[in-house]
Structure 1
């Protein structure tokens, strides 16, 4: 039996095509960039500058090849770190039988959710040394409250099932109950949320870099390129349009891929019932 219908397969193929370009540039770009050449004195096109040069004379094509790794890797690692904290936290709060412990775990997250993510990034990053490691930690912390609430909400419904009570009566360990049954039962919810969370991390990383938070303002970074060259948009549009388009395409492709895969999976489960 086919897992994906023709329409879902087409959407997945489109999503993979969208994702492939920015991912390949992020992974292989630094290997293809080559050494830095002499800086030009104007917005030079041709002579090896296939996208021209920016207002500082740096080759835009080389900056594009170098600038994706920081954005993509920081967003991916930050998303993984956020779930590494949010999943155990949400499961612990959902499976405990002590109301005070559930409140102690979840209520502080409600306070953090009330704080805008960008403001949290600005406040925390101000105390950290600029760099990808600090930005990764800050973006992960900003994603934990929302992710933990999604995990908690999904786990509460599953924890109320008779199967969980049966596992407890059999004396199964917390790990087997929480991870072996509850977490496995909510994997579709986690997968759907992961697409949203990764997209949010990409935009937050790009926004932080755009504002010069946690990233060297002279770094080869797609978001920094947008900020650095926006005043010369009409003189050298490629220095702004190309990196901005790569970030947008990666976000769109990620969400489209998760949506198509999850819808195909849901159709398959309905047919097998």
Structure 2
């Protein structure tokens, strides 16, 4: 239940929050004349919290789904065919050797700003790890006697590689999904913090942390609340996935 609460609260604010904001006004910066006061340009912090979660959540979810959509087939094909294994996996080693934040900054500098660019960058950073994990799981499954028997019976590639292998590695992929989604949240928040992908004055939880830290001691809620929401979503997702996997194991 703790994990569910930690996930539901920031998700509800991110998805439903904009419905409760009709007019965004401005006043004096860093004053406490409302629920959470005002930010560095005089905007209501509570309104910014309600408006600021969609980018972080949407980009992280879409990028994670795309990472698995590309990475899982990539890893399975590499594991099932020794001919293309090195061809598919060696370029990913180069990507894994470069720090993720450096890839994010360089790709953003080349491609320019925008949410589609940010989604593509986070997908690019995450999918090599997904491919390697999928390949490792598929290699173990490929050595099982059941799969050897299916090959001897001349079963189709679809039945051996997709139906049997995909179903057998589902638990491993599900266990990795929580960590991968948390990593995507971290990258999206870091990108927003660095001003990559979203405007520097956007209503975004990570941007709020960056832009309001200069007034942390004047108006701490403008930094603490969005930071806590990001942390809550990350921790809650991991707890929820761990709980689901334990129940499946029982």
> Which residue of 9, 21, 38 corresponds with 1:21?
9
**For the residues of structure 1 that align with 2:93 and 2:223, how far apart are their CA atoms?**
37
- 1:210-258 per-residue CA deviation (whole Å, 9 max, x = no partner) reads 0111211111100000000011100010000000000000000000111
Give ranges in structure 1 of 5+ residues lacking alignment. 1-12, 269-273
- Offset of residue 263 of structure 1: 1.7
Counterpart check, 1:109 vs 2:96:
no
> Which residue of 233, 245, 249 corresponds with 1:262?
245
Tell me the equivalent position of 1:95: 80
Give ranges in structure 2 of 5+ residues lacking alignment. none
- Offset of residue 33 of structure 1: 1.7
Conserved? CA contact 2:32–2:219, under 8 Å: no
Tell me the equivalent position of 1:127: 110
Tell me the equivalent position of 2:30: 43
Q: How high is the TM-score relative to the length of structure 1?
A: 0.89
Q: Secondary structure at the match of 1:171?
A: coil
**Aligned positions, number:** 250
Mapping of residues 54-203 of structure 1, within 5 Å: 54-98=39-83, 101-203=84-186
**For the residues of structure 2 that align with 1:44 and 1:226, how far apart are their CA atoms?**
17
Aligned-residue CA RMSD in angstroms?
A: 1.1
Q: Secondary structure at the match of 1:127?
A: helix
More divergent stretch after superposition (249-258 vs 157-166): 157-166
Regions of 4+ moved over 6 Å: none
Q: How high is the TM-score relative to the length of structure 2?
A: 0.97
**For the residues of structure 1 that align with 2:2 and 2:110, how far apart are their CA atoms?**
41
